[in-house]
Amino acid sequence: LASAEYRLGLDDLAQQHFQQAVQMAPLHGTALLGLARVLMRQAQHDRGLLDQALAAAQTAAKVAPDSADLHLTLARVHGFRGDIAASEQAYLQAMDGPLAATACRELTETHQFTAGDPLVPRIMALVGATPADRCHLGFARFKLHQDLGQPAEAFTALAEANRLRRAALRYDPAQDLQQFAALTLTAPSLARHTLTAPAASPRPIFILGMPRSGTSLVEQILSSHSDVAGGGELPFLSRALDLATGKQPASSAAVQQVRQDYLSRINVLAKDKAYVTDKMPHNFRLIPLIRAALPEALIVHVHRDPAAVCWSNYKHYFASPALGYCYDLADITRFHALYSGLMQRWSDLYGDSIIPLDYDALTRNPAAQIRALLAVLSLPWQDACLTPQHNKRAVRTVSQMQVIQPIHAGSSDDWRQYQPYLGGAFDGLT
Tell me: do 140 and 244 sit in the same domain.
Answer: no
How far is residue 383's CA from residue 134's CA, in Å, rounded to a whole number? 46
Tell me: do 92 and 162 sit in the same domain.
Answer: yes
- Does residue 263 fall inside a structural domain? yes
Residue 64, C-beta contacts closer than 8 angstroms, at least 6 positions apart: 29, 70
Number of domains in the chain: 2
Q: Measured in Å, how far apart are the chain's first and last C-alpha atoms?
A: 49
Residue 100, C-beta contacts closer than 8 angstroms, at least 6 positions apart: 68, 94, 126, 133
Transcribe 104-143 into DSSP letters: HHHHHTT----TT-THHHHHHH---SSHHHHHHHHHHHHH
Tell me: do 224 and 307 sit in the same domain.
Answer: yes
Phi/psi of residue 204, each to 5°? Answer: -75, 145
- Does residue 124 fall inside a structural domain? yes
What is the rounded radius of gyration, in angstroms, for the C-alpha atoms of the chain?
A: 22
Cα-Cα-Cα-Cα torsion 118, 124, 129, 135, nearest 10 degrees, comes to: 110
Q: Give whole-number Cα distances, 252 to 5, 199, 263, 295, in Å.
A: 32, 17, 16, 13
- Does residue 426 fall inside a structural domain? no
Cα-Cα-Cα-Cα torsion 91, 313, 324, 123, nearest 10 degrees, comes to: -30
* 109, 142, 169 - which closes a domain: 169
3-class SS letters over 164-179 = HHHHHHCCCHHHHHHH
Q: What is the pLDDT of residue 34?
A: 87
Tell me: do 98 and 214 sit in the same domain.
Answer: no
- Does residue 143 fall inside a structural domain? yes
Tell me: do 137 and 232 sit in the same domain.
Answer: no
Q: Is 390 exposed, middle or buried (0-12, 13-18, 19+ CB in 10 A)?
A: exposed
Residue 208, C-beta contacts closer than 8 angstroms, at least 6 positions apart: 215, 279, 280, 281, 282, 283, 284, 287, 299, 300, 301, 302
Tell me: do 9 and 31 sit in the same domain.
Answer: yes
How far is residue 38's CA from residue 267's CA, in Å, rounded to a whole number? 20
- List the CATH number of the domain containing 25: 1.25.40.10
- Does residue 430 fall inside a structural domain? no
Q: What's the domain range around 287?
A: 173-421
Contact of 274 with 331, CB cutoff 8 Å: no
One pLDDT digit (tens) per residue for the chain, 430 residues: 788 878 877 788 888 898 888 888 888 888 888 888 888 888 776 777 888 898 888 888 888 888 888 999 999 999 988 899 999 999 999 999 999 999 999 999 999 999 999 999 999 999 999 999 999 999 999 999 999 999 999 999 999 999 999 999 999 999 999 999 999 999 999 999 999 988 889 999 999 999 999 999 999 999 999 999 999 999 999 999 999 999 999 999 999 999 999 999 999 899 899 999 999 999 999 999 999 999 999 999 999 999 999 999 999 999 999 999 999 999 999 999 999 999 999 999 999 999 999 999 999 999 999 999 999 999 999 999 999 988 876 665 555 566 567 777 778 889 999 999 999 999 989 7
Tell me: do 163 and 193 sit in the same domain.
Answer: no
Contact of 53 with 44, CB cutoff 8 Å: no
Q: What is the pLDDT of residue 401?
A: 60
- Does residue 64 fall inside a structural domain? yes
* 169, 201, 224 - which closes a domain: 169
Q: What is the pLDDT of residue 399?
A: 55
Name the residue among 112, 210, 104 with its Cα closest to residue 157. Answer: 104
Contact of 274 with 305, CB cutoff 8 Å: no
How far is residue 18's CA from residue 156's CA, in Å, rounded to a whole number? 43
- Does residue 427 fall inside a structural domain? no
* 143, 169, 195 - which closes a domain: 169
- List the CATH number of the domain containing 330: 3.40.50.300
- Does residue 282 fall inside a structural domain? yes
Contact of 363 with 408, CB cutoff 8 Å: yes
Check residue 239 and report its DSSP letter: G
Tell me: do 108 and 194 sit in the same domain.
Answer: no
Tell me: do 139 and 240 sit in the same domain.
Answer: no
How far is residue 106's CA from residue 242's CA, in Å, rounded to a whole number? 34
Please give the order of strands across the beta sheet that includes 203-208: 228-230, 275-278, 203-208, 298-303, 354-358
Tell me: do 157 and 211 sit in the same domain.
Answer: no
Tell me: do 8 and 135 sit in the same domain.
Answer: yes
- Point out which residues pair with 356 in neighbouring strands: 301
Give helix 131-147 / helix 151-169 axis angle, nearest 10°. Answer: 150
Tell me: do 250 and 369 sit in the same domain.
Answer: yes
Q: What is the pLDDT of residue 404?
A: 63
Q: Give whole-number Cα distances, 130 to 48, 136, 164, 189, 294, in Å.
A: 38, 10, 10, 48, 46
